[in-house]
Amino acid sequence: MLAKALASYARQAKDDQLRKMADRIQSRATRRCGELLKQIPASAGGRPSENSGGQPPELTRTSAATDAGLSERRRKTALRVANIPAKC
C-alpha cells in the first residue's frame, strides 16, 4: 500500500498539470473577487462629514475586503486584475 502511494505521489510531483490547474483556479478566484469588490461603489475618500447623524458607516470596498480576510495588497491586486478586460 505504501509503495503504491509513493509511486502515485512521485508521478504527481513530475506532473506539471496539477500546478497549472491550481494556478488557473487561483487566477479565476482573484478576478472574481475583484469583480465583486467593484460592485461596491468607491468611496470619495477623505474624512467623514460631521453631519452624518451618528449613523454607522456604509459598506466600503476596504471594509468588505477586510471582513472577507483580504489584506490590503490582495484587495488592490484583485481590483487591478478585474479592471483588465477578459479574453473573449
Q: Which amino acid, residue 79?
A: L
Whether pTM exceeds 0.85 = no
Please tell me what DSSP assigns to residue 55.
Answer: P
The C-alpha cell of 46 is what? 477623505
Q: Which tens digit of pLDDT belongs to each residue from 26-62?
A: 999 999 999 999 999 887 777 766 666 656 667 889 9
Question: With contact defined as beta carbons under 8 Å apart, do 12 and 58 qualify?
Answer: no
Q: How far apart are CA 37 and CA 59, in angstroms?
A: 11
